[in-house]
Structure 1
């Protein structure tokens, strides 16, 4: 039986891609570009009960293959995976086995034949309840960032406007606080710690996840990072780790913009121990 996966969860622009880069530099784990669809598949799987196994395999592949960000995955075709999966014996025909094999397939395609897989899609927070129910024994790394910096970064990346970015940050962190398992399989880490003291912070993450840490992982660039080379908002991931982005919201969020942030945003800031002046 393969090891349970490692899910990096949190709001967008909270260090998810940086953490993926460092973990993959170790060669011990494969984490693809953002997949977007795994949570929806998990939630819809019970509705596919009456489908044949072949239809389930094809439908799962279609979710990945027809998504608008499919090109980010940098996979020529999912057909070799599907052709193999439809031949599996009855005892192997389960959704976890499909995901294990699919991520292993993507890993081999990208040159990472690691036995362990992970996922770092921020959108998973919108389906976190279903993911945790399906994978109660998985590792969950909750990345937390000052909401003002996360909002400013989303706006700069042209993801959402001020109110949409703030709401997305609140909803993501609320889901993590509500649904993540309590216990040693869940670790909360602050983005600010990752960039202020990367060696100590990532050593802690690796140790928690049962992986071997070496300082060189902080500077080595893995191959085949997919979306990192495609989207401008991931460009910082390819540069040395620095704390320069902490507090950068002061350069782009005006005092008037800060007054427009909702009470829910301010409440979540306090709950996550970030000080927000009146």
Structure 2
């Protein structure tokens, strides 16, 4: 059934009954690449950075709380008033808001073919408990990249927004702390979940078919060779970067370089040493080799 003959309410009802997934990870870790791959699958909608969890949800909670406070003040009304929703009663409001975002950005996707809906914002890994409170059965894809590569990529991409007195070596140290902390906390929160997988940026480079197959199987959608190939071909570095080949650097592009191991010719020895000292435990847990040993 095409979208053209469905009413808005019918589309909304269909979306409301679909499984939900979120993607998160450190900045510059490949979350956009994963989002693009999944969004090219005919059974999936995967939005870019809506910041639903870290922006809209808190604002809806604030407005609801203000409404609750007003309704509790009897002098504001001459007639019997009402109680405002609180606790779990707010959850349907939040879920409806997410469905509205999906519906507003669904594009030319055929709603009748959809089997799951999702969203990618890197900071989702900071709000896993909030996500789980809204969607207890959520599927979560955690994209992980060698922190040394992420650190130099993030600094290059975001340095124009940093304080002018923020030197690169200090940024690398701070990134190492965040990389280690965010990954460790996320893994602990989701430790016993069967609806959580980790996808390595490096594995996506080396075995894209295997990794895409794993994600599609996780989301329980078509993982045929033809479907995997279409997702991969629609999301190559060349297509996303506007025609550049991997290794052709454009520091002003979101798709900057598209390689693994670039930190080796970008970071100084001291920066590498500092990162590895700070993030040693997490690197060890993830199996990333350290250049400088203890």
Q: Distance in 1 between matches of 2:200 and 2:235?
A: 22
Match of 2:102 in 1: 103
- After alignment, is 143-152 or 168-177 more displaced? 168-177
In structure 1, distance between residues paired with 2:47 and 2:270: 39
> In structure 2, what is the equivalent of residue 72 of structure 1?
none
**CA deviation after TM superposition for structure 1 residue 172, in Å:** 2.6
Alpha-carbon shift at residue 91 of structure 1 (Å): 11
Residue 218 of structure 1 is aligned with which of 210, 220, 232?
232
**Partners of 2:23 and 2:124 within 8 A in 1:** no
Do the aligned residues in 1 keep the contact of 2:24 with 2:120 (CA within 8 Å)? yes
- Per-residue deviation, 1:121: 0.6
| Higher RCO (CA-CA < 8 Å; seq separation 6+) | 1
Instruction: Name the count of aligned residue pairs.
Output: 230
Measured in 2, the distance between the counterparts of 1:100 and 1:232 equals 33
Please say if residues 104 and 113 of structure 1, whose CA atoms lie closer than 8 Å, have aligned partners that are also in contact.
no
Match of 1:49 in 2: 64
1:130-141 → structure 2 map (5 Å cutoff): 130-141=130-141
5 Å-filtered alignment, 1:143-158, equals: 143-158=143-158
Q: CA deviation at 1:170?
A: 2.2
State the Cα deviation string for residues 182-228 of structure 1 (Å, max 9, x = none).
23211112111111010111011101111113112111259xx9x98
SS in 1 for 2:287: coil
Moved more, 93-102 or 155-164: 155-164
In structure 2, how many angstroms separate the alpha carbons of the residues matched to 1:194 and 1:268?
A: 20
Q: Equivalents in 1 of 2:252, 2:222: separation in Å?
A: 31
- Distance in 1 (CA, whole Å) between partners of 2:191 and 2:100 is 25
Q: 1:50 to 1:255 in 2, by over 3 A?
A: closer
Rounded to whole Å, the distance in 1 between the matches of 2:91 and 2:126 is: 28
3-state SS in 2 of match to 1:13: coil
Residues 126 and 186 in structure 2, CA contact (< 8 A), matched pair in contact too: no
* Unaligned ranges ≥5, structure 1: 54-89, 238-243
Q: How far did 1:173 drift?
A: 1.0
> Which of residues 19, 30, 38 in structure 1 aligns to 2:53?
38
Out of 211, 228, 243, the residue aligned to residue 201 of structure 1 is 211
Q: State the partner residue of 1:25.
A: 40
Alignment CA distance shift 1:246-1:262 (3 Å): closer
In the alignment, the residues of structure 1 paired with residue 152 and residue 203 of structure 2 have an alpha-carbon distance, to the nearest angstrom, of 19
Is 1:269 aligned to residue 289 of structure 2? no
Partner of 1:250: 264
Partner in structure 2 of residue 123 of structure 1: 123
Spell out structure 1 runs of 4+ moving beyond 6 A: none
- TM-score (normalizing by structure 1): 0.71
CA distance in 1 between counterparts of 2:26 and 2:64 reads: 32
Q: Among 167, 171, 180, which residue is 2:190 paired with? A: 180
SS state at 2:46 partner: coil
What secondary structure sits across from 1:170 in the alignment?
helix
1:57: which partner in 2? Answer: none
Q: Report the more deviating stretch, 40-49 or 244-253.
A: 40-49
Alpha-carbon deviation of 1:120?
A: 1.2
Deviation string for 1:129-166 (max 9, x for gaps)?
21222222111011111111111211222356322332
SS in 2 for 1:30: strand
Q: How far apart, CA to CA, are the structure 1 residues paired with 2:196 and 2:152?
A: 27
Show structure 2 runs of 5+ residues with no match.
1-15, 69-88, 163-170, 243-250
